[in-house]
Chain A
């Protein structure tokens, strides 16, 4: 089980969290003006990084906040203290 550092509550067990996918995938400001390819990228394309991955977690069964974290997907180790609100 992963121990995940919630930036509000500190290190907590994975059971309290829900994974929320790659970080920094911003919803286009004006979706109607977004082309098909750009919209497809927003909907479906993710880096699926093998290595250090910027991702979102939600401390769903804790403080309920979403936050960003860096995790190495080849070791599942989080970069310590790099969780950001």
Chain B
């Protein structure tokens, strides 16, 4: 990409269990229920109809955030092709598609302590029974709003608005630091 040289991604602290954010293509899709099915054709995977569930296929994912709101994730640099493909698939439907690739950053947390670290500042129970693999939702972490998604048993991915990302990462590290000290 021609723009890679001038890009400056949010720099966050890292740890063995804390992945620094990677750039991604992100869209918020909102619209009438019919748009969801159509959008699936354009995006290349069936968008989840069940509340608080994610659907994935290869390197693309769709996260149910609300009955009329989906977060679409894809590798970096695919804004134009995905927008074009969705526009074709959604022709005739009432919907809104907005590029939010830079609005938020992804933070990965993994390992045996991941669930415990997140639960420390998140009011939701994150055990496997209440928050199984494949579940995702918007919620809070400390004083920040986050999207949390569990792609695997010991892997969580957070999506955080960029100006809150430093806070979230530092708070995670502080919880970790205090609990192992």
Q: Which residues of A contact B (CB under 8 A)?
A: 1, 8-10, 12-13, 15-16, 61-65
Contacts of B51 in A (CB 8 A): 8-10, 63
Given A8-B51, A9-B52, A15-B123, A62:B138 Cβ within 8 A: yes
**Chain B positions within 8 Å of A15 at CB level:** 123, 140
* Other A-B pairs beyond A8-B51, A64-B138, A65-B67, 16, CB < 8 Å: A10-B51, A12-B124, A13-B123, A13-B124, A15-B123, A16-B139, A61-B138, A61-B139, A61-B140, A61-B145, A62-B137, A62-B139, A63-B69, A63-B138, A64-B65, A65-B66
Question: How far is the CB of B69 from the nearest CB of chain A, in Å?
Answer: 7
B71 to chain A, nearest CB (A): 12
Residues 69-96 of B at the A interface (beta carbon under 8 Å): 69
A64 close to B140 (CB less than 8 A):
no
B65 lies within 8 A of A63 (CB)? yes
Residue of A nearest to B146 (CB): A61
Pairs A–B under 8 Å by Cβ, sample size 26: A8-B66, A8-B67, A9-B51, A9-B52, A12-B124, A13-B123, A13-B124, A16-B123, A16-B138, A16-B139, A16-B140, A61-B140, A62-B66, A62-B137, A62-B138, A63-B51, A63-B66, A63-B69, A63-B138, A64-B65, A64-B66, A64-B69, A64-B138, A65-B66, A65-B67, A65-B68
